[in-house]
A and B are shown apart, each in its own frame.
Chain A
């Protein structure tokens, strides 16, 4: 089986591996210990594996790792730390926009990319933006509340 040497920039860190041509970005990330990227369906249906690539939210299960050299890839771990949560993370905590937490890393990445483009969205626009990220626990109410609060607060860079 032919293997390809690939160097990717993930959370501003260079990660190298020898991979098969068909290795998805999701598999690449999880095999290189970015396990904060969650596998929900491997079909691009649920959004749990969403990462930000060059500013866009992308389901990593639908992306080949070999498509990604030279691109900037960010996972949820790029956002904040225990001592200093990112405003979006803080809003998710404050609004309890989290139940089981499995969809949360992907949801946060979609929300982050969206707010970067559109810092003060309406609730309708938020619902549109996150409609590719399934959450089975919350009914989305508190997720929309959390994203809206960040937009309203104007804290978002």
Chain B
């Protein structure tokens, strides 16, 4: 595969990894600055209460405390906004977001005050000296209850913050045509990102009065949010991103940056703030939990006729990205299937739980658990092979989705599912109490942001006088090799070696704005921008060479720092006709034609959604794939052991094959965690799973070897026909495992994670019947 490329699609291991294995990479918490203060955050211990009294006097008086801030010290503490993705049915909400809680706290862990001191011990002691009195307010923790008119209100007079719908065909008629119908309810958990690196950063005011914040940021554009809070022009706040020690959406919303900006601004001193693991657990956003109700019908020949879904997500106490996540769920609700009649109704609801927001999968994997459980049960009812049944219904290129979007790339679903299943190899036997079963699941997930957001990405590329290249792009490196992808793309196009290309990234005042490292958009958007800029630079060189040798530029090729005649370029007679790249660059420079380019890549633009009804394209494209699992279930304890696992995706075109596999393996592991073991528990709004010995993520012993199958249709919208894989890699994992458990023990789990306890109870329920 990828024979026509020198670098693209190969297994590239090198510069980035080398620094990491040597321990040379400087992460956010590793930075120190002269005269630096250390900060801590004072947080609510109530889920819903009025703040009757807040007294900072004793904390401020402590020796070594330099700065203590509460809401009244924040220049622009409240931002009243109409909710992103808010819809006409819900009406204007005007949710209040506050930097620090002023009069009222709405969840356990909400920030109330900030302390900066000469060292961390003093800052922690100062937290103990802050005096606060609360008056409890009515609270609501169940999103289904919170939708009802009499429920306590979190903001304004309606807890429903968004409502999306899909209507396609005639749902009644569709169910009337069905020979079999499966109707079930499902639940998914509040998943914790559990990136190993805590949120962290440092800030300082430079000699031009600019507030600098260096932190682990998935979105460096948050400099604008810091500027808005401080009441400064955007140009007076600079964000410098660091190499990120894992994010998965956890470093997408505001983390430490506003607090750091405020404390440096108010104290005039450099400041460092790192969240503790407990704070990460109880005060930071999680994946929104979902309640899903699905009804799906099919004819006896196995053709889907209708699907109706009702989705409710728990937004928690503030409005972060849950309305957007809900759009993803609504659009992806059908799964990668052509269904003539579809009805989806989705709500996101405020509660006094911890706020929820972005997490890899972003609304796509919650519905995947439900639609792939439904597909499995339908196949069972039809006594049809689950893959044959799916094959009759898979979306294909040219098909229309339920929101009337035409699929314009390949959808290699039959290949992915067959290959994932084949990769499992021979099936294990099991024993009396240990039942072996197999399952698989297919999924689709968009890559790139919603098209009505008018996404763009910029990159600048040049050639130095010696023929090496510098790339500037604002894209943060989340650990997925984002910088390395740009290096590979530019090296391929300019005919350079990897170590001849240097990438500068993630600085809001130095690198051209490239947008966020979220929404599986980094390769698609910043990769295309780097490709465009490199192609422009190549054109400058080839045009110049063309003028120098009198050969049309189309006949010239740039490789190994030489410009060759394109035909028969290895032939000895052509060696005489080559020009060195350095010669061409010198000639360019002499004529004032600098080989450099700033390019903008624009995603397809669509009009903003103006009604609750989604009936137009929302995404640029989709990635399709499948995952398969073999499990062994102990029927006496309910314990599941994963025996085999495989994952197969069409990623369009690999840039670095190692990294593609890495995304697929890591995505599967996180999705398996979501399906089998990860459960963030709150009781009456009080989080109970703060630490990594309470909130359990998969260890090396919880996972089997993961077989990866990489398909390359070269039909994607990314550079060289690539599709995105970051999020798609997680979506099908939970239903694959749950379908395997169903196969093993004849019991289906409707509420993930499928812990031993839930499986044990489900088995007990079956026996009692």
Contact = CB atoms under 8 A, between A and B. Distances in A.
6 contacts: A45-B692, A76-B23, A81-B22, A93-B17, A93-B18, A135-B700
A36 interface: yes
B21 A143 contact: no
Considering the complex of A and B, which 5 residue pairs feature the smallest CB-CB distances, nearest first? Answer: A100-B479, A36-B23, A102-B245, A101-B20, A139-B669
A140 B30 CA distance: 25
Interface of B: 11, 13-14, 16-27, 29-30, 193-198, 243-246, 248, 274, 276-277, 478-481, 656, 658-659, 661-662, 665-670, 691-693, 697-701, 703, 705-706
B196 A96 contact: no
Contacts of A80: 21-22
Nearest to B31: A35
Interface residues of A, number: 53
Contacts of A143: 700
A76 B19 CA distance: 11
A110 B195 CA distance: 20
A106 to B, nearest CB: 9
Given A35-B26, A45-B692, A75-B23, A96 B243 contact: no
A98 B21 contact: yes
Interface string A39-61: 11111011010000000000000
A128 interface: yes
B680 to A, nearest CB: 15
Contacts of A40: 196-198, 277
B705 A100 contact: no
Interface in A72-111: 75-77, 79-82, 85, 89, 92-96, 98-105, 108
Contacts of A132: 699
Which label, helix, strand, loop or mixed, suits the secondary structure of the B interface?
A: loop
Nearest to B695: A45
A38 B11 CA distance: 28
A123 B701 contact: no
Contact of A85 (B11, B18, B244): B18
B196 A103 contact: yes
A131 B700 contact: yes
Contact of B277 (A41, A81, A85): A41
Nearest to A144: B700
B245 to A, nearest CB: 3
Nearest to A90: B21
A153 B367 CA distance: 45
A103 B27 CA distance: 12
Contacts of A103: 196
B622 to A, nearest CB: 23
A7 to B, nearest CB: 23
Q: Which of A40, A43, A135, A139: most chain B CB closer than 10 A?
A: A139
A116 interface: no
Nearest to A106: B196
B670 A136 contact: yes
B700 A92 contact: no
Contacts of B666: 99, 136-139
A134 interface: yes
A82 B18 contact: yes
A108 B478 CA distance: 21
A103 B479 CA distance: 11
B21 A92 contact: yes
Contacts of A81: 22
Contact of A89 (B22, B26, B659): B22
Given A102-B197, A140-B703, A94 B13 contact: yes
Contacts of A127: 700-701, 703
Contact of B706 (A82, A92, A131, A139): A139
A141 interface: yes
Given A45-B692, A103-B196, A142 B665 contact: yes
A115 interface: no
